[in-house]
């Protein structure tokens, strides 16, 4: 069953602000800080207490907001979204926030994650007469709320959230209130901060830093927060469970300056490198990291091993992330455009090349070849996370099982395929040790793509179908 499931989905970033006269502008800055989470499209919805106003477009945040007259988006509250999409899903309809207008009132939604039972819920909603406008699983939540018999939106929202299976960080906005919800296992990151008297919510705390907001706390798994003129109110729609925040957020997705669930991303990556050096030492002349996401782990590896850290690879800042390229051929081209070796540093050297993860193996193969072409005597690949052998069902584009190199090959085969002199991965316990500071703080992590232990049950996995942010 797992092998049949199509490469699902996307990380995305969400942002919200309540109680600020420049809500739309601040959302623009917040989305800027979250740009690494999605480059396909971005948008904002504001409320002035009477009307919701939307602006969204495909493209990078700067382009999306280039000619926007922010006075047309006036309001004291806003939500925003940056979208990451896999191939074949590039449509303005799926760019968020999604805005629904009805006689009962309007509602906008921004979502990061993946609702695993969206397919069966869509079937149920369509049978009951709902007409869904997008192929996005996010829309399901809006329809569940709208179809509710309950007049109280919070009650309707809680009922709807209880029906969802999967990973989700939601921010909803109607004319009068903002609602924030995190799935019962807290798979996706979501934090709350303050900007003066205003409340801010974001996928990553780096969005708080850019706007000068202070971090307040995490949104708890299974929590529904309502923010309005009356202030912030909190309730639960699910029992508090062990948190299972996505380990790949620490390994690759999040920005190093973000703190996720009280753990700084750079610090955790550095520890991954330290653990990796303990677990998989090798004689070499220099340690180098694949920019940007592997630099912290490379620093940790060098520190622990005593082998000097060097900049052996340079990143061209003006190309997008490799995965954005839709085909394998273009992806490979993308890697070439993105990185260059520093010949003067690697020539004649035994190089330890640290990368954060291997998914298909394209990146490692290209980089090993690049380093060898530049004269490296040996290239030892050290990966700062365990082998990815299982697809992700929780909102991360992790491809099919067939495409995951480690699902189909032994370490020796991977070593031969990427052309390295040796390959080693960090163990699952090493990764956990690098992330979890204190069990008492509910800092459990999901490592299902590496360990196969999915925090949402096997039965739920069979429900997967429609998968968008």
Catalytically active residues, by annotation: 12
State the burial class of residue 356 (Cβ atoms within 10 Å of its Cβ: 0-12, 13-18, 19+). Answer: buried
- The reply on whether position 370 binds ligand SF4 by CB under 6 A is no
Residues whose CB falls within 8 Å of the CB of residue 391, separated by 6 or more in sequence, listed in order? 2, 5, 7, 8, 398, 399, 400, 401, 404, 449
- The reply on whether position 397 binds ligand AMP by CB under 6 A is yes
Residues whose CB falls within 8 Å of the CB of residue 154, separated by 6 or more in sequence, listed in order? 179, 224, 226, 235
CA distance 406 to 386: 10
Residue 75 or residue 395: which is nearer to ligand AMP going by CB?
395
- The reply on whether position 385 binds ligand AMP by CB under 6 A is no
Contact partner at residue 363 from ligand SF4, ligand AMP, none, CB < 5 to 8 Å by partner kind: ligand AMP
Minimum separation from the CB atom of position 144 to ligand AMP (A):
28
- The reply on whether position 263 binds ligand SF4 by CB under 6 A is no
Contact partner at residue 29 from ligand SF4, ligand AMP, none, CB < 5 to 8 Å by partner kind: none
For the segment 229-248, give every residue that binds ligand SF4 (CB under 6 A).
246-248
State the burial class of residue 439 (Cβ atoms within 10 Å of its Cβ: 0-12, 13-18, 19+). Answer: exposed
Minimum separation from the CB atom of position 365 to ligand SF4 (A):
22
- The reply on whether position 449 binds ligand SF4 by CB under 6 A is yes
Minimum separation from the CB atom of position 387 to ligand AMP (A):
11
- The reply on whether position 396 binds ligand SF4 by CB under 6 A is yes
Contact partner at residue 293 from ligand AMP, ligand SF4, none, CB < 5 to 8 Å by partner kind: ligand AMP
Residue 10 or residue 218: which is nearer to ligand AMP going by CB?
10
Instruction: Name which of 154, 153, 156, 185 is nearest 169 in CA terms.
Output: 185
Residue 200 or residue 445: which is nearer to ligand AMP going by CB?
445
Buried b (16+ CB within 10 A) or exposed e, 293-305: bbbbbbbbbbebb
Of the candidates 180, 374, 398, 404, which one interacts with ligand SF4 according to CB under 6 A? Answer: 398
The structure tokens listed for 348 are: 């004649």
The structure tokens listed for 42 are: 């971005």
- The reply on whether position 394 binds ligand SF4 by CB under 6 A is yes
For the segment 72-131, give every residue that binds ligand SF4 (CB under 6 A).
none
What is the sign, positive or negative, of the torsion defined by CA atoms of 329, 135, 205, 219?
negative
**In whole angstroms, how far apart are CA 452 and each of 2, 249, 462?**
10, 17, 15
State the burial class of residue 225 (Cβ atoms within 10 Å of its Cβ: 0-12, 13-18, 19+). Answer: buried
Binding site residues, ligand SF4, CB under 6 A: 187, 246-248, 392, 394, 396, 398, 446-449
Positions touching ligand AMP (CB under 6 A) are 252, 293, 322-323, 355-364, 396-398
């Amino acid at each position: 069953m797992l092998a049949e499931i199509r490469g699902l989905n996307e990380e995305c970033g969400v942002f919200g602000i309540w109680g600020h006269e420049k809500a739309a502008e601040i959302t623009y800055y917040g989305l800027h800080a979250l740009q690494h989470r999605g480059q396909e499209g971005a948008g904002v919805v504001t409320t002035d207490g009477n009307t919701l106003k939307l602006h969204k477009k495909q493209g990078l945040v700067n382009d999306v907001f280039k000619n926007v007259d922010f006075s047309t988006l006036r309001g004291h509250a806003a939500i925003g979204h940056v979208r990451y999409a896999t191939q074949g899903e590039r449509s303005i309809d799926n760019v968020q926030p999604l805005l629904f207008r009805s006689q009962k009132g309007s509602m906008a939604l921004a979502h990061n994650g993946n609702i695993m039972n969206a397919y069966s819920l869509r079937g149920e909603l369509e049978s009951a007469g709902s007409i869904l406008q997008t192929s996005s699983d996010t829309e399901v939540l809006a329809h569940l709320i709208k179809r509710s018999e309950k007049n109280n939106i919070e009650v309707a929202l809680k009922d709807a959230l209880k029906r969802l299976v999967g990973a989700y960080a939601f921010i909803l906005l109607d004319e009068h209130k903002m609602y924030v919800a995190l799935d019962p296992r807290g798979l996706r990151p979501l934090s709350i901060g303050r900007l003066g008297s205003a409340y801010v919510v974001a996928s990553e705390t780096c969005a708080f830093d850019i706007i000068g907001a202070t971090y307040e706390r995490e949104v708890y798994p299974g929590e529904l927060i309502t923010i309005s003129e009356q202030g912030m109110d909190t309730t639960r729609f699910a029992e508090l469970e062990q948190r299972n925040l996505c380990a790949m957020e620490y390994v690759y997705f999040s920005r190093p300056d973000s703190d996720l669930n009280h753990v700084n991303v750079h610090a955790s990556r550095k520890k991954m490198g330290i653990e990796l050096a303990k677990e998989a030492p090798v004689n070499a002349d220099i340690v180098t990291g694949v920019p940007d996401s592997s630099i912290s782990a490379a620093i940790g590896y060098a520190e622990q091993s005593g082998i000097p850290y060097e900049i052996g690879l340079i990143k061209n800042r003006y190309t997008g992330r490799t995965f954005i390229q839709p085909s394998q051929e273009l992806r490979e081209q993308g890697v070439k455009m993105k990185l260059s070796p520093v010949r003067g540093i690697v020539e004649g050297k035994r190089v330890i090349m640290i990368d954060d993860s291997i998914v298909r193996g394209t990146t490692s193969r290209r980089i090993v070849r690049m380093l060898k072409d530049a004269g490296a005597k040996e290239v030892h690949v050290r990966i700062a996370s365990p082998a990815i052998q299982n697809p992700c069902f929780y909102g991360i584009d992790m491809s099919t099982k067939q495409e995951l190199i480690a699902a189909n090959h032994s370490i020796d085969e991977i070593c031969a395929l990427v052309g390295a002199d040796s390959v080693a991965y960090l163990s699952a316990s090493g990764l956990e040790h690098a992330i979890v500071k204190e069990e008492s703080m509910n800092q459990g992590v999901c490592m299902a793509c590496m360990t196969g232990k999915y925090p949402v049950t096997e039965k739920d996995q069979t429900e997967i179908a429609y998968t968008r942010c």
